Amino acid sequence: MAIRFELLARDGQARLGRLTTPHGVVETPTFMPVGTQATVKGLLPEQLRAAGVQMVLANTYHLALRPGAELIAQLGGLHRFMGWDGPILTDSGGYQVFSLAAIRRIGDYGVEFRSHVDGSLLTLTPERAVEIQELLGSDIAMCLDECPPFDAGETVLREAVRRTCHWAERCRQAHRRSDQALFAIVQGGLDLALRQQCARTLIDMDFPGYALGGFSVGEPPASMYPVVAATAGMLPENKPRYLMGVGRPQDILEAVAAGVDMFDCVLPTRNGRNAQAFVRGGVLRLRNAVHRTDPRPLEDDCPCPACQHYSRAYLHHLFHAEEMLGPILLSLHNITFYQRWMAEIRQAIAAGRFAEYRAARLAQYGSDN
């Protein structure tokens, strides 16, 4: 097995685990920063390590376009190429089926994209998606899937589930690397019957891990939470469960409570580039005038360079002066915030007090200034 997952403790449905990969151990629940193009934007690998990052995510579609999977393989694989020696998960391009719907065509054979870079044709079949990820050499690869919008009709949802299962079987047949785990993705929108059908079919194929896909694509959180909880409960106890693309702190707390182990999202770095800092009380918007003369750090107890060396006033200045250091410092702070917070979640589960912790954090997290 390319990976080993150990369930160490449970508190209600919340799970404390350990995921062992060829490039290191990941304590779960865990949050993976997004390094779409073989970089977590603006941050060095050593800064990610210092912030507590265990695992990063990279993107099959984007790396296939630039610089090309074959070139990355020629240069020693994705770990060496991006200077990150820890675990890497690569998504399959399935999210781009949703996000780039205007420039793609889809059929049972796969997906054809018109490159957003130069208009060239990129064809992703299940087999090619696996081949690209094997060339990249990630620790965990994802099956190609069809991610429909949340408001898709029943016919579209049923077809997406059928195609996702069909593609998963083809990915499974094509996968060859013994040092890489292949995860399947459960689709079905907000339809629990379709989610159940998809989960049962994929579980019968016996993948080493399963993802919950098709969430955070426009649906309100109140609609998402019960479906996430029900879907997580459909998945095997002894294998990791990964909720794709969901990253608001409130959403992660609810998903951990439902038994989810792994998360990724662009929010920490995207919001950091847009002058928004995650703190215990909510979100600080550093462009706002209230921060212009504020000598305080973002958070008193945060070990990140932004908090240790700079004031809110200085960060406010950087963004108004359009200095690149501002986005770098806030991205690093936000990544640090998420990693410290996930460590607290793991500690709460281990101590059997996650429900109390979750309630306190949900009550605390809400201000925005």
Mean pLDDT of 262-268: 98
User: Mean pLDDT, to the nearest integer, of 164-169?
Assistant: 98
Region of poorest pLDDT, from 45-59, 90-104, 170-184, 203-217: 90-104
* Active-site annotation holder among 91, 145, 251, 261: 91
pLDDT in tens, 272-317: 999 999 999 899 999 999 999 999 999 999 999 999 999 999 999 9
Catalytic residue among 11, 251, 261, 264: 264
Question: Is the model's pLDDT at 369 over the cut of 60?
Answer: no
Res. 126: pLDDT tops 90:
yes
- Where exactly does CATH 3.20.20.105 map onto the chain? 4-265
In angstroms, the Cα distances linking 90 to 132, 138, 226, 328 are 10, 6, 27, 24
By the 10 Å C-beta count (0-12 exposed, 13-18 middle, 19+ buried), 369 is classed as exposed
Q: What is the DSSP letter of 290?
A: G
Architecture per CATH, 4-265: Alpha-Beta Barrel (3.20)
Cβ–Cβ < 8 Å for 203, 236 = yes
- Mean pLDDT, residues 78-90: 98
Q: How confident is the model at residue 367 (pLDDT cuts 50, 70, 90)?
A: low
- Which contacts qualify for 360-368: CB closer than 8 Å, 24 or more apart? 361/249, 361/253, 362/250, 362/253, 364/280, 364/281, 365/249, 365/250, 365/280, 365/281, 365/282, 366/281, 366/282, 367/281, 367/282, 367/283, 368/282, 368/283, 368/285
Q: Calculate what percentage of the chain has a pLDDT beyond 90.
A: 93
Q: What is the pLDDT of residue 347?
A: 98
Q: What is the pTM of this model?
A: 0.97
The C-alpha torsion from 321 through 323 and 326 to 331, rounded to 10°, is 140
Average confidence score pLDDT of the chain: 96
Active site annotation includes 264: yes
The region of weakest confidence among 70-74, 101-105, 175-179, 317-321 is 101-105
91 is catalytic: yes
Cα 300 to Cα 119: distance, rounded to the nearest angstrom: 48
